[in-house]
Amino acid sequence: MSASTNSSRPDIGPLSEPRHDWTRSDAEAIYNLPFSDLIFQAQSVHRANFDPNHIETASLLSIKTGGCPEDCGYCSQSAHYDTDVKATKLMDHQAVLDTARRARDNGASRFCMAAAWRNPKDRDLDRVCDMVSAVKDLGMETCVTLGMLAPAQAHRLRDAGLDFYNHNVDTSPEFYGHIITTRTMQDRIDTLAHARDAGLKICCGGIIGMGEQVDDRVGMLILLANLPSHPESVPINMWNKVKGVPVNDTADRPDPIALVRMVALARIMMPKSVVRLSAGRQYMTDELQALCFVAGASSIFIGDVLLTTKNPQTVRDAELLDRLGIRSRLDDVRVAAMPSQAAE
């Protein structure tokens, strides 16, 4: 799908009014706008709904790593592939709480906990609920991703103080079967519905660069934008190279401009959702990240590691946001770390 030379602007409707009836022709017309027109529209929607000079900062911790029975073809934690990731037990409660406290003190406002399960067992969910409550008491927003949920489990997490449930759709319905066979797209949609029905906010996005086409990337956003309620957070992940997984054979890192177009389209189609630059930022230049912020991304994960893959160092993020004049909780950390100046 190539960008159009037609400078006419598709009608995107009121800048603050979410739609749930997006057609492929609607989405493609926006995606294919001349770049300056696309960025203008995305920034206009962004300014109508968010502070364009503020970035949300979140931290992600793997509380149970590896040994997952799912066969997601991109994942280092799948038990189906030899990826050198060793399976671990669920982390100790105090270790999770200590990590959350450090994340807060290093500038994170949301703490996300991930466990490599197909679905949580009730005995494990008891421990996760205790972790959620303890992190909530630190004054942080809470998020978990635990695989598929039953309705009762979603309510238990809500009662423990959980704010967000993350469950990505990963890609378009058409490409989904090429990367996962052990869980259907409908399984994912059902879990999102259980979380939503329990009163949880939703964090749901996908991964680009796994060998899918631009049509698939657009199709993923159409799927999300046509849910009964838009996800409150939409993470856009760029696939990280992982040893031993099938996606290695098809992966193709997206053109930087294509990534910005993806962010802009997500911003326009889901005007009140927070669009997050997630995995893959270590491959992005400062200039590319800045373009993504202009296109409507307003959240990042901070910390050196995301689950099992690398992430830019927090000091680099703080310096970049400072150069761009973008505020975040990293400002407080940077100021606190500065030596006090003697009065003149």
* Assigned token pair, 73: 């073809």
Does the annotation mark 292 as catalytic?
no
CA atoms of 274 and 259, how far apart (whole Å): 16
Does the annotation mark 112 as catalytic?
yes
To 10 degrees, what angle do helices 256-269 and 24-31 make? 130
- Beta strand 309-310 with 233-238: parallel, antiparallel or unpaired? unpaired
CA atoms of 67 and 80, how far apart (whole Å): 8
Does the annotation mark 129 as catalytic?
no
Which one of 112, 129, 204, 292 is the catalytic residue? Answer: 112
Which one of 127, 183, 203, 267 is the catalytic residue? Answer: 203
Q: Write b or e for each residue in 50-65: b if 16 or more Cβ atoms lie within 10 A of its Cβ, otherwise e.
A: beeeebbbbbbbbbbb
Which one of 129, 143, 204, 292 is the catalytic residue? Answer: 143
Which one of 188, 217, 276, 281 is the catalytic residue? Answer: 276
Handedness of CA 93, 60, 68, 151 (dihedral sign): positive
Does the annotation mark 143 as catalytic?
yes
Which one of 68, 129, 204, 292 is the catalytic residue? Answer: 68
Rg (CA), the chain: 20
CA atoms of 44 and 264, how far apart (whole Å): 11
C-alpha distances (whole Å) from 233 to each of 76, 190, 203, 256, 287 are: 24, 18, 4, 22, 23
Does the annotation mark 204 as catalytic?
no
CA atoms of 159 and 104, how far apart (whole Å): 23
Catalytically active residues, by annotation = 68, 72, 75, 112, 143, 203, 276
